Homo-oligomer: A and B are copies of this chain.
Amino acid sequence: MATKTNPGNYFEDFRLGQEIRHATPRTITSGDMALYTALYGTRFAVNSSDEFARGLGLPRAPIDDILAFHIVFGKTVPDVSLNAVANLGYASGRFGEPVYVGDTVSTTSTVIGLRQNKDGASGIVYVRSIGTNQRREMVLDYCRWVMVRKKNVDAPVQSSVVPDLPDAVQGGDLIVPHKIHIGSYDFDLAGSRFVWDDYEQGEKIDHVDGMTIEEAEHMMATRLYQNTAKVHFDALMQKGSRFGRRLIYGGHIISLARAISFNGLANAFKVAAINGGRHVAPTFAGDTIYAWSEVVAKTELSGRRDVGALRLRTVATKDKPCADFPYKDSAGTYDPAVVLDFDYTVLLPKRV
């Protein structure tokens, strides 16, 4: 009589090149869109209004790109990170086809790297995960690496392979869904007159607004994404952890930061890439999240006069407003208020 529950994979269970078809395909509903708005207060017009989306050549409002990320990501948790010690990083994330209500999203992953830690008790697993819709079109393709416990410290492991991951998605690899063209873009309705041309490399923007997080909110969000990591839900178990309480899913902070970034980046109508990201410190219910952004680079897109890309670093803090852009000190140590250092690329209309 086999054990029926899923113990998750331990470090020694992964094999280089292993392919995993993750469970729980998910048909996106307008309920997901409403909950996403209720949880983060996002205001990007293209995700809020079918009419506005049509002005960009889209059939109707797609879901927020970061919501698509959470749905794709959540499916990987039971197989990849149920026994994780830490979620270490992201790279090479590219968004493909926009996701619409009615689309069914599935995720598959490939193990692209494995490196045991020196203590032999854990190791780093690198996976490339691809989310697809019901037509097998790619909606998100990204890499992440996590530190995973070994179940048996003495279990033999493969020799180390660490994949060569780029610092950022290159401009030529960015995907602008081919339907998108800036036709009748209405800047009043979008909430800002600032276009791609108005931003400068090195420019810093304090997004001003703060948002305090409640336990009910981050748990509802994380369950909506069908992310099963226990640390987010089980207060009794967490009492015995070093934090003494439930940890908030790091992706919840990404969504808050993106929603807060509307104030200053209202025309960043699409996330095209996730270049990298680090959850610098854990967050808990009661924390108030603020954010600021720096324009890391401006990229012209070949063949596109109407759309340009900005590579951004958005930094989120807890319990510290961002008027003075808290980040790292001269030794490279993060300000203790910083919780997220997120490197991504967004699309904006260009001035015509």
Interface residue ranges, A against B (CB under 8 Å): 1-2, 4-6, 21-27, 29-35, 37-41, 43, 45, 48-52, 60-61, 78, 101-102, 104, 106, 134, 188-192, 194, 198-200, 203, 205-212, 214-217, 219-224, 226, 228, 230, 233-237, 246, 263-266, 286, 288, 319, 321
Sample of 21 A–B contacts (CB below 8 Å): A1-B200, A2-B198, A5-B206, A6-B192, A23-B43, A23-B188, A23-B189, A24-B49, A26-B49, A27-B60, A30-B101, A34-B35, A38-B221, A209-B233, A210-B233, A211-B233, A212-B236, A214-B214, A214-B216, A216-B216, A217-B219
The reply to whether A5 and B106 contact each other, CB–CB distance below 8 Å, is no
Most buried by B among A45, A212, A217: A212
The reply to whether A246 and B37 contact each other, CB–CB distance below 8 Å, is no
Say how many copies of this protein the assembly contains.
3
CA distance A49 to B263 in the complex (A): 35
CA distance A29 to B49 in the complex (A): 10
Chain B residues near A35: list those with CB within 8 A: 31, 34-35, 38
A265 smallest CB distance to B (angstroms): 7
A184 smallest CB distance to B (angstroms): 13
The reply to whether B104 and A51 contact each other, CB–CB distance below 8 Å, is yes
Known contacts A205-B4, A217-B220; A27 and B49 CB within 8 A of each other? yes
Q: A5-B206, A25-B45, A211-B234 are in contact. List 4 more A-B contacts (CB 8 A).
A: A6-B263, A21-B189, A39-B223, A209-B230
CA distance A194 to B236 in the complex (A): 30
Chain B residue at minimum C-beta to C-beta distance from A34: B31
| The residue from B5, B106, B190, B209 contacting A228, defined by CB atoms under 8 A apart | B209
The reply to whether B41 and A203 contact each other, CB–CB distance below 8 Å, is no
| The residue from B23, B104, B223 contacting A40, defined by CB atoms under 8 A apart | B223
A210 smallest CB distance to B (angstroms): 4
The reply to whether B78 and A235 contact each other, CB–CB distance below 8 Å, is no
Known contacts A34-B35, A38-B223, A246-B212; A23 and B266 CB within 8 A of each other? yes
The reply to whether A235 and B223 contact each other, CB–CB distance below 8 Å, is no
Chain B residue at minimum C-beta to C-beta distance from A226: B43
Chain B residues near A208: list those with CB within 8 A: 5
Chain B residue at minimum C-beta to C-beta distance from A199: B4
